């Protein structure tokens, strides 16, 4: 069965908006033209795609089943046309990625110069969001998410084989002001972060006490920034703190490391049709290489030395 390509964008618009007039405005067509395209598609298929009642129009089960494939097919065509246009014009290809704010700020941005040097032909367009975006609907090629996975409608690849540990962190000035770095001493200091997470850390350190942090954050990058500013002791993920640890802006106060919600880690998710798309393949390889460099930097980092001696002003 050969379907008319002209009818598929009309079907997608009506299905997503659930309104013929709004779909016509999106497509810059008349209401009757869109209605005719939907009728023609249904006649060609031999079954209805929508339930019509009064002036309303709603996808039926057949239409819902078709919508997923149509969205993916049209998105793939859009990507192909953009790639062809960029090649014809000699301009950069664009790779749109949704990234968690903390991961973008603390890990990706410091490495963007190396991405650009390695792939000058690829423009990496990052949009930060704590929400789980719909890759097709919102026009993203991939996303970096933190969670358990899998997610419906996308392929996901964990960036780590094991969950990332949480460690106690503070500015060098805060660390030097402490008489020692025992859990008992840390418990009396201003703590930054979630109460339950800190409670888990102290329990793992063998100290069972009530915990009452002075501040909580909806973004891990903000919490680490607060710790760098000397506002308290943070419990953060080692990867996000890696650059600050090696630069001496933060120090690790204890060798106690915990894994909270162990099944969660960072994943790269992407549309299945883009699995072998060269820009996405390049992004995956770059992430793997940079993460390996981060691992090596953390292996050479000595927390006990930094906690006592490292001063970023020296």
Lowest mean pLDDT among 55-59, 77-81, 234-238, 267-271: 77-81
Given a contact cutoff of 8 angstroms between Cβ atoms, the answer to whether 265 and 146 are in contact is yes
What is the enclosing helix (H) or strand (E) of 290? helix 278-300
Name residue 98's beta-bridge partners. Answer: 127, 143
Average pLDDT, the chain: 86
For residue range 260-310, what is the model confidence (pLDDT) as tens digits?
Answer: 665 578 899 998 888 888 889 999 999 999 988 888 877 766 554 443 333
Confidence of residue 252 (pLDDT cuts 50, 70, 90): very high
Q: Answer yes or no: pTM beyond 0.75.
A: no
Task: Work out the percent of the chain whose per-residue pLDDT is above 90.
Answer: 51
Span(s) in the chain for CATH 3.40.190.290: 92-314
What is the rounded average pLDDT of the residues 225-232?
A: 96
Task: Work out the percent of the chain whose per-residue pLDDT is above 70.
Answer: 87
CATH 3.40.190.290 fits 92-314, yes or no: yes
Given a contact cutoff of 8 angstroms between Cβ atoms, the answer to whether 35 and 71 are in contact is no
Whole-number Å distance between alpha carbons of 41 and 49? 9
Span(s) in the chain for CATH 1.10.10.10: 7-83
Q: 179-200: buried (b, 16+ CB within 10 Å) or exposed (e) per residue?
A: eebebeebbebebbbbeebbbb
Q: Is residue 251 pLDDT above 60, yes or no?
A: yes
For residue range 163-187, what is the model confidence (pLDDT) as tens digits?
Answer: 678 999 999 999 999 999 999 999 9
Whole-number Å distance between alpha carbons of 241 and 220? 10
Given a contact cutoff of 8 angstroms between Cβ atoms, the answer to whether 160 and 292 are in contact is no
Question: How confident is the model at residue 90, as a pLDDT?
Answer: 57
Note the CATH architecture for domain 7-83: Orthogonal Bundle (1.10)
Confidence of residue 311 (pLDDT cuts 50, 70, 90): very low
Q: Is residue 247 pLDDT above 80, yes or no?
A: yes
Handedness of CA 271, 274, 275, 281 (dihedral sign): negative
Question: How confident is the model at residue 307, as a pLDDT?
Answer: 39
Name residue 298's beta-bridge partners. Answer: none
Q: With left for phi above 0 and alpha for psi between -120 and 50, is residue 230 left, alpha or beta?
A: left
């Amino acid at each position: 069965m050969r379907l008319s390509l002209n009818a598929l964008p009309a079907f997608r618009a009506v299905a997503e908006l659930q309104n013929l007039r709004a779909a016509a405005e999106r497509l810059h067509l008349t209401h009757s033209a869109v209605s005719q395209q939907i009728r023609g598609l249904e006649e060609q298929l031999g079954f209805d795609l929508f339930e019509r009642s009064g002036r309303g129009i709603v996808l039926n089960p057949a239409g819902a089943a078709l919508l997923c494939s149509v969205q993916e097919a049209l998105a793939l065509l859009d990507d192909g046309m953009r790639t062809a246009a960029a090649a014809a014009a000699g301009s950069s290809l664009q790779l749109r990625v949704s990234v968690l704010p903390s991961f973008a700020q603390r890990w990706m941005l410091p490495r963007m110069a190396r991405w650009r040097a390695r792939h000058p032909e690829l423009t990496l367009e990052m949009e930060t969001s704590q929400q789980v975006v719909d890759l097709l609907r919102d026009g993203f090629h991939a996303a970096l998410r933190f969670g358990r996975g899998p997610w419906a409608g996308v392929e996901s690849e964990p960036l780590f084989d094991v969950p990332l540990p949480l460690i106690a962190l503070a500015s060098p000035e805060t660390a030097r002001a402490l008489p020692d770095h025992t859990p008992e001493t840390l418990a009396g200091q201003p703590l930054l972060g979630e109460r339950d997470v800190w409670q888990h850390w102290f329990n793992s350190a063998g100290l069972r006490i009530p915990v009452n942090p002075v501040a909580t954050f909806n973004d891990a990058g903000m919490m680490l920034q607060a710790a760098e500013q000397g506002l308290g002791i943070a419990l953060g993920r080692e990867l996000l703190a890696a650059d600050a640890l090696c630069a001496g802006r933060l120090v690790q106060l204890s060798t106690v490391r915990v894994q909270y919600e162990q099944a969660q880690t960072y994943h790269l998710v992407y549309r299945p049709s883009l699995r072998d798309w060269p820009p996405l393949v390049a992004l995956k390889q770059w992430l793997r290489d940079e993460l390996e460099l981060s691992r090596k930097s953390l292996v050479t980092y000595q927390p006990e030395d930094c906690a006592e001696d490292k001063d970023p002003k020296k």
